[in-house]
Each structure stands twice: as C-alpha cells, then as structure tokens.
Chains A and B, each alone.
Chain A
Amino acid sequence: MKPHLSMIAVGASWGGLKALRAIAHGLPAHFPVPVTFVQHRSKESGALRELLQDCTPLIVCEVEDKQPIMGGYVYLAPPDYHLLVDGDEFSLTVDAPVRYSRPSIDVFFESVADRFGAEAAGVILTGANDDGAAGLRQVAARGGLAIVQDPRTAESPIMPRAALRAVPTALTLPLERMAPYLVSLATADEGPRPRRDRSGGADEVRP
C-alpha cells in the first residue's frame, strides 16, 4: 500500500530557483497532491512565481491568507510572511522572523507535520543555512516522509547536510530523481517506497 499523501512541502534557499524549476518541470498536469514551495527570498523579489509557472502545466500561485489547499496547484510561500496550514486552508502570519527567515521553512514544515502527520512529505533542497532541519525532523517524527536533495548535487550543500544530520534516515535523492520519485509516490500503485522505522523516519532507498 502506498501512503496517501496530502501535502508535499519543499524548502529551498540559496540556489533554490534552479532546483525548484527542476521539480516543477517534472510534475505532470493534474498532479493530485498539493505541492508547496518555501523559498527564502527578499521582499522585493516578485518574479519567482512567473519563473516557476513557465516550466509547469500546474497552476503556480503565491498563497493568500485563508486560501483553500487543493491538488493541481503549486503553492508558493509569499515573501515576508510565515506560512502555516490551518485545517484545509493556508494561514499567514507576520510573526517575527525565525532565525532571520520569514518565511521560515521550519515554521511551515512543523505546521505541515502537525496537521498532516503520515500524509505529509517534506523535501529539503539546496541552501546555505540550516533552516528546515528542525522542521524535517518534525515531519519524520509525525510519521511523514523525509526527503533530502543529495548534497553532492546541491548548489549549496549546507542545508541538505543539516537536514540529514537532523534526520539521518531521510531518503536522499539527486535533483533529477526528485520529481520522478514524487510522481511515483503520488500516482503509481507501487513505487519505490521506503519502509518506516521506529522513529517514524524513512529508510534510505538507494536511488
């Protein structure tokens, strides 16, 4: 039995644009699981949505407060807000930045873990800080799937390495295998899927 997935949360920082585009590009139209990107960026950066929309048939949108969560969408955390899930909707806050970041990947992943438990997947991509590590640990602790970009394929390996230190059992994948794997999880009857160990994390599957 493949797990039912209700949310794929993806965190990225330095070098994230290329990595996020690669993932968006690899997802087919009508991909059934909501995908949310949390990318560190400045308040002024406005074009990220368009850059992502260019490479996917899914609808890419910057989240607005109380927006319903639906399949077929790639959601993008807006700059200068924290993103949370609240039932079947998104919720935004302007609470203080967490370790200099707003949006904070940790804040979003923790919220996703608590809301979706085993129906959540957390993906940590390239970045030059350790945001997301604590959040990914929470995703794993709640029985969700923890996935980390292979640091050797990351533009900046610091964030994936920190995530792997926090969740040593996380599945590591090179960037080009990431989208195909998510597709297999969400759509195929039998994909390569990791066993869950006692800690709730995922065993590593050799790519």
Chain B
Amino acid sequence: MPTDDLSAPTGADLTAAAEAPVHKYDPDLERIEIRLLLEGIYRHYGFDFRSYAYASLRRRIWKRIAAERLTTISALQDRVLHEPAMMERLLLDLSINVTAMFRDPGFYVAFRRDVVPALRTYPFIRIWHAGCSTGEEAYSMAILLEEEGLYERTRIYATDINEVVIRKARDGIFPLDRMQEYTHNYLAAGGTRSFSEYYTAMYDGALFAPRLMRNIVFSQHNLVTDRSFAECNVILCRNVLIYFDRTLQQRVHKLFYESLPVYGYLGLGSKESLRFTGFEDHYEQVDRREKIYRKIQ
C-alpha cells in the first residue's frame, strides 16, 4: 500500500524496502546521512565518492539498502564501517561498469570521418581512454585504427580507477554470448572486415587477438586525485563524467584541457556536453551529432 511514511524509495527494483519499518521521508536528513556515509567510507577505506553526482549515488545507495533489507542509510553506514564484506558489495554498486564493444556505433563512424584524417598526418598517435572499465571500447578503437592503417604508430593509454576491471581488461577475454551484439555494433560502426577475425572462441569466452593488445597500456588511474601523465592527441571519456558532480566535472575537464595540445580531440558520451562546464569556449564541436570536440585555444 502506498503511504506517506516510507523512508526508502519504493521503486520496482526496491520492493524489499517496502516491507521494512517506516520512517518519515526527510530529504534534508537523507542528505546528511549520505554525507556521513561517504565521509566514513573515505576516512576508513580511502574510496572517495564525496563528489559524485548526488541523484545517481542516492539511487544506488537505496538499492543496496533494499537488497540488504535495511531501512536507513545510517544502518547501512554501521554495517559498511564494521563489515568489509558489506563495503565490497556497496563498492560494486557504486562502481557499476557498463560498457560494450563499439558502443554507440555512430560515434565510431564520426571518429573515422572527422578524426582519422587528422591522425594520418601525425608521426605518432597517443590516445587516452579515461574510465575504460573492462576495456571493450579500447579494443574497439584498436580495431578501428588497425583497419585505418594507423595502429602501428598508436599507443592507447586505457585507464580506470578500479584495479579489478583493469586486470580483466588486460586479459582481453569477453563473454562469447555478447559477440552477436558486438558484431552488429561493429558493422554499424563502419567495420570493413568480418568481426570474427578478431577473436578466437574458447569455452564461453572470446579471446581477442594479442596483436590488438600490443599497443594498449592498461593502468590504474584516478581522475579525482591523479595528474595527467602524457600529452595526448585524443582523449576519450564517455559516460564517466555523468557520475561526477559539477565541481568534480570541472576539475577533470581542466585535467583533460591541460593534457591536450591545440587541435587535440576530446570525445564524450552522446548526452554529455561542454555546455555546462566552463570549457565550452576552448573547444569546437567537430561533429554535428556526436560529442567530438577539438581544442582551439
């Protein structure tokens, strides 16, 4: 039954919370509790989620509370601080990694059309893929550049805050049951060969060709605290910054700006924009539809 008094959001995916004892919903108190939780996590475990976007953060926190059949954020805080296993479960919720090979094929089509011609004129190409998760999009870029004849002189620095996903990325093995979707994406992205040439099926995994890994350097990097490590011709950071609040977004955009030469390219997610970041005037959008920008000053 709907009631005024549910503290927890009662979403379709949050049904467990509906059975819990009730508290009056108080958004101001919720904000205090979330701040305390994040401060506790930072001081005790060192993970810093304090500048993450509030709306998605609170949704993920409430999902964890519902899954644990708890009722308040404070109760979750108690468990998180005293039980490392609970922290691990929350950490997985807070760092969900959604990715796919040739995700948003239109982006790769635009990249071939708008960026590749400029890259051809460079003797050596450095690409930084920030927030690469398990590496699917870094391998996609390697495939694209190989087909364009540029991969030999490219180095892709693929980074993520999460050590676990970086280890998986280095393995170069992706679930076999997604290859149909990836083949579809690959073709829509302007792929010119047969996608199955790039991997070997083994048990339930698809092992990608070692030559694709050769020029990718996977490493742990924290966009919140770490500095730039190289000047890059292209920075790709797609659907990562949406999880950051405005202040942190601005800081990361400053880092990107400083890591790009004039005429360097920045690729964002399809509904991410420089419009609200303060860096709009420093870039021009090179594709009408896709969020590919070029630094102009």
Partner of B242, one of A85, A94, A138, A200: A94
Is the CB–CB distance between B25 and A142 below 8 Å?
yes
Is the CB–CB distance between B60 and A143 below 8 Å?
no
Instruction: Write the chain B residue with the least CB distance to A142.
Output: B25
Known: A64-B275, A81-B271. A141 touches B12 (CB 8 A): no
The contact string, 1 if C-beta is below 8 Å from chain B, for chain A 77-91, is 010110011110001
User: Is B243 among interface residues, defined by CB-CB distance under 8 A?
Assistant: yes
Interface centre among A98, A110, A166 (most CB of B within 10 A): A110
Q: What range describes how many residues of B lie at the interface?
A: 20 to 34
Task: Give the total of A residues in contact with B, Cβ under 8 Å.
Answer: 45
Q: Which residues of B contact A95 (CB under 8 A)?
A: 56, 59-60, 96, 98
Is the CB–CB distance between B3 and A199 below 8 Å?
yes
Q: Which residues of B contact A67 (CB under 8 A)?
A: 273, 275-276
Instruction: Write the chain A residue with the least CB distance to B188.
Output: A44
Contacts A66-B249, A135-B12 supplied; 11 other A-B pairs, CB < 8 Å: A64-B272, A65-B241, A66-B276, A68-B276, A81-B271, A87-B54, A91-B53, A95-B59, A140-B2, A167-B2, A201-B2
A197 to chain B, nearest CB (A): 11
User: Is A111 among interface residues, defined by CB-CB distance under 8 A?
Assistant: yes
A166 to B53, alpha carbons, bound, how many Å?
Answer: 30
A189 to chain B, nearest CB (A): 28
1-60 of chain B: CB within 8 A of chain A = 1-4, 6, 9-13, 25, 27, 53-56, 59-60
Is the CB–CB distance between A106 and B3 below 8 Å?
no
The contact string, 1 if C-beta is below 8 Å from chain B, for chain A 52-77, is 00000000001111111000000000
A190 to B98, alpha carbons, bound, how many Å?
Answer: 48
Instruction: Write the chain A residue with the least CB distance to B96.
Output: A95
A131 to B12, alpha carbons, bound, how many Å?
Answer: 9
Is the CB–CB distance between B241 and A141 below 8 Å?
no
User: Is B239 among interface residues, defined by CB-CB distance under 8 A?
Assistant: yes
B63 to chain A, nearest CB (A): 9
